[in-house]
Amino acid sequence: MKLRVLVRLVEIQRVLLRHGLDDYVRATHLYRPLRFLFFLSPGVWFERRRTVSRAERLRLALQELGPIFVKFGQAVSTRRDLLPADIADELAKLQDRVPPFPGAIARESLERTYGRPLAQVFDAFDETPLAAASIAQVHAARLPGGAEVVVKVLRPGMRAVIERDLEVLHALADLAHRYWAEGRRLRPREVVAEYQKTILDELDLMREAANASQLKRNFAGSELLYVPEVHWDYCRTDVMVMERIHGVPISDRARLKAAGTNIAQLAENGVRIFFTQVFRHNFFHADMHPGNIFVLIDDPQRPRYAAVDFGIVGTLDPGDQHYLAENFLAVFDRDYRRVAQLHLQSGWVPPDTRVDEMESAVRTVCEPIFDRPLKDISFGRILLRLFEISRRFNMQIQPQLILLQKTLLNVEGLGRELYPDLDIWSTASPILREWMRERTSVRALLHELRTHAPELIAAARGMPAALQGLVLRRAGVARAQTPAPELSELRAELRAARRRDTLTLGVAYLGGGLFWLALSRAQEWPGWVLLAAGVGIIAYGLRR
């Protein structure tokens, strides 16, 4: 283990101790003897006498430890069902109230980036930040022409800080993989590698601007979600400029209620947005904590979400997307055997897993929570039961799904805060069923054929040459191994095989053309082309 990793681990312990978080130090079991040396430090005892609540001490420690720890605090702050109220309230401050860096430094950074005084870039720039987060902070500004915008600026030295802590995470993951009994199943190395890609992507604000642009295009014309406009001419790797929105923070329930907002509709829309992003668009905002979500209430009865901070987005492999949708629907239908079968088919559990045993275990966890609103569901207990199931069946962690799981927890936490009577099952089920119907429809098949038609045609064109080459290679081998009197018989067989292959290809073209003409409502010419090609190939095959 590198020296700087060891130094950082000791520093983490020191920070926790200095903020009086002794229980956390004991729980980590890292450098246990050194812990007692810290206890002897006068500075530690002085800090321990401060009359500061445990929740505030935890928040301050996470802030001091840096962005990776702040993001952890942000993620768990949405789960008030899993945390004591005082800790949840305090960690919520990490969502948009991290101590800012001086506005003068932000100005200097922007002037270096643009290569000219800021007065020549913006008509106005407010050095007092609107909000500060773990990696960047945002300032209000006005473009030439009067458009109101926000300017997002990276914190100085962020990459070095994050890369240092990523080294620590990799070191801990290696130790866990080698010496922890659950290490191979939980795949800590892969989890950290997945997280590394996510956190480093956040340091490229051009990537974030592209994410915002894609999300805006996905929800163009939608009444569910509004995404601010990106001003590309002002964006750089360490600066992003986008339209300023004036909405109500999702966490300000008092203001939403005072405005007469339809809270139930708002909560249901949050679920619709999540499932639409994940399954219809396969591109989802993966940092949906309350600090990044606002509500537009021009029409309180038809509230509309507005999202900011697009540094973390997720996509799914089509196979994972399909299995997830199937799993959700099986749970909605209480088809627990199907859930067990899907886990086997996807390879998420070992192939020797007994379906009936897993079916019974899933039923035990899921059955008690149906037909209940969020307020009556103990997700803390459910999570513990799910962890027990995963251990029992040696279920491997799927690192590629961690972002999705994190986002689902955020969405469920938001729903719990907004409208505890929300029925997630009845809201999500129609969306998934419609998506599955569309995905398996004839129209979807036709779309796939049209999309991949150039590749299919190119492959078909190359098939005769490929078949001829294969036949010639086989003929060469046969010629070398077959006595001369049998050569004529072999040639006859090869000609018959070539004819069969040619006729099969012609029939395939013919069938494709008929299928296209039967289903196409617009462009019919590809169908006629396929028909003509099929007839020509069949005629050629018959002459051979």
Which positions are catalytic?
287
For 277, 285, 373, 429, 437, the CA distances from 132, given in Å and listed in that order, are 27, 19, 35, 37, 44
Q: Cα–Cα distance between 533 and 511 in angstroms, integer? A: 11
Q: Cα–Cα distance between 183 and 388 in angstroms, integer? A: 15
Query: HEC states along 300-337?
Result: CCCCEEEECCCCCEECCCHHHHHHHHHHHHHHHCCCHH
Specify the DSSP element, H or E, that contains 200.
helix 188-201
Measure the CA angle with vertex 165, ends 107 and 173; round to 5°: 155
Q: Cα–Cα distance between 195 and 188 in angstroms, integer? A: 10
Contacts of 259 (CB under 8 A, 6+ apart): 248, 297, 300
Quote the tokens at residue 84: 């004591």
What DSSP designation does 118 have?
A: G
Contacts of 155 (CB under 8 A, 6+ apart): 67, 101, 134, 135, 136, 137
Q: Cα–Cα distance between 133 and 71 in angstroms, integer? A: 9
Quote the tokens at residue 58: 């935890």
Instruction: State the distance between the two ends of the chain, measured CA to CA, in whole angstroms.
Output: 71
Contact indicator for 177, 188 with CB cutoff of 8 Å: yes
Contacts of 493 (CB under 8 A, 6+ apart): none
Q: Where are the alpha helices (DSSP H) in 393-441?
A: 402-418, 424-439
Contact indicator for 396, 185 with CB cutoff of 8 Å: yes
Contacts of 249 (CB under 8 A, 6+ apart): 290, 291, 293, 294, 295
Quote the tokens at residue 119: 């007065």
By the 10 Å C-beta count (0-12 exposed, 13-18 middle, 19+ buried), 299 is classed as exposed
Residues written for the chain: 544
Contact indicator for 66, 165 with CB cutoff of 8 Å: yes
Identify each DSSP E strand in 107-196 by its residue range.
Answer: 124-125, 131-132, 136-142, 148-154
